[in-house]
Structure formats: C-alpha cells, structure tokens
Structure 1
C-alpha cells in the first residue's frame, strides 16, 4: 500500500503544482487555458494557485522528511476541499466537462488523507 500511496501523492502533487503555478504566476496562460479565470479577480486566481502550491508541497514533504508527517493528511484534506469548491463553482457555471478533473483529484486527495492518516 505504501507504493500506491506514494504514486497517488506524486500524481496529486504534480497536478496541483501545474495548476497552482499557472494560477499563481502565469495568469495569462491560466486565462487562456480556463474560461472561468476571466470571470474572477486576478488576486483570487493567484490565491487559489498559492493554496494549491502549498497543498502540493504539504502532501509530499512532511511525510517524505518525516518532519510533522501529520501535515500530509491535513494537506490532502485541504486540497480535497479546494477541489470540492472548484467542482461546485463549475456546477454553478454549468461547466460540466471541467468537473471530471475535480472528481479525480478529489478522490485522489481523499485517498491520501485516509491512507496517510
């Protein structure tokens, strides 16, 4: 199970590093990639991006270094909440195609939260 956990943690971290980096530091690319970015403030998009970047670090680093490994399931839970709110946002906007990504990352984050705990 340990190998599976690390694989899922890596996938979650990579996904959130990518999306977080675009949202936090490459606003124009994020705006071109995701239609919803045009309809919210740049500061809010950057905030979401920074949150995702911190979550991506938190889902790997504490457990990998064995320094406060309890932070890993906390980070995973926080990322699951971010993804859940993202899914609700997409439902409200009738962007149903976007929700599949939210569902996958929600499931992965919940898996990490439960298994790492």
Structure 2
C-alpha cells in the first residue's frame, strides 16, 4: 500500500504544485484560456489559492517522506477534496460546466486519504 500511496499522492502533488504555481505567477489574461472562472474571482484570491495548492502538494510529500508529522498527509488530501467540492460549485454557478477534471481530482484525493491512513 505504501507504493500505491507514493504513486497516487505523487501524481496529485505534481498536478497541484504545477497548477498552484501557474495561479501564483501568471496574469489573469494568461490564465483565462485554461480557467474560465478567473474573471469572476479577484486576482489576490487566485494568487492565494495558488499558494495554498503548492503548500498542500508539499504536505502530501514531505511529512511521509521525513516521518515528521505524517498525519499532515491525509489532512492535505482532505483539503484538496474540500477544494474540489468548492471548485465544482464555482464551475456550476458560472457558465463553465466542465467538471470532469474536478471529479477525477476528487476521486484521487479520496484515494489518497484512504492510502495515507495506512502509512
């Protein structure tokens, strides 16, 4: 189960670190083609969300890797699950109805929570 955690959590962390870095450094014009919702959210909120995603990705990897505060890994995965629940709500309240990626990320975060409980 340890190998499965590292595969699933590693992919999830890679996705969120990349997405968070894009939100943290790119302009609204650069983000708009990929994320239609950035026009409805103030840019400081987008930047904060990017920073939170990068910290959460770090929380999936570093605690189990170092053995220090390993309970932070399921907490980070739970945070990503809650983030995607909110993301689905944002998508459904706007014109963007594409939530397939969000549902996949929810399933991956739920699997990571389950796998992290066995660490």
TM-score (norm 2): 0.90
How many residues were matched structurally? Answer: 116
- The match for 1:108 is 108
The structure with the largest helix share of the pair is 1
Q: Per-residue deviation at 1:94?
A: 4.0
When structure 1 is superposed on structure 2, of 70-79 and 87-96 the one drifting more is 87-96
Q: Considering only aligned residues, what root-mean-square deviation do their CA atoms show, in Å?
A: 1.2
Query: Any stretches of 5+ residues in structure 1 without a counterpart?
Result: none
Contiguous gaps of at least 5 residues in structure 2: none
- Cα deviation per residue 1:40-96 (whole Å; 9 max; x = unaligned)? 110010111111111100011100111110100001001111111001110111422
The two structures have a TM-score, normalised by structure 1, of 0.92
Could you tell me which residue of structure 1 aligns to residue 11 of structure 2? 11
Counterpart in the other structure of 2:92: 91
Other-structure match for 2:72: 71
Greater than 6 Å deviation, 4+ residue runs = none
Separation (CA, whole Å) in 1 of partners of 2:12 and 2:25: 19
Higher relative contact order (CA 8 A, sep 6+): 2
Conserved? CA contact 2:37–2:96, under 8 Å: no
Look up the SS of the partner of 2:92 in the other structure. helix
1:43 aligned residue: 44
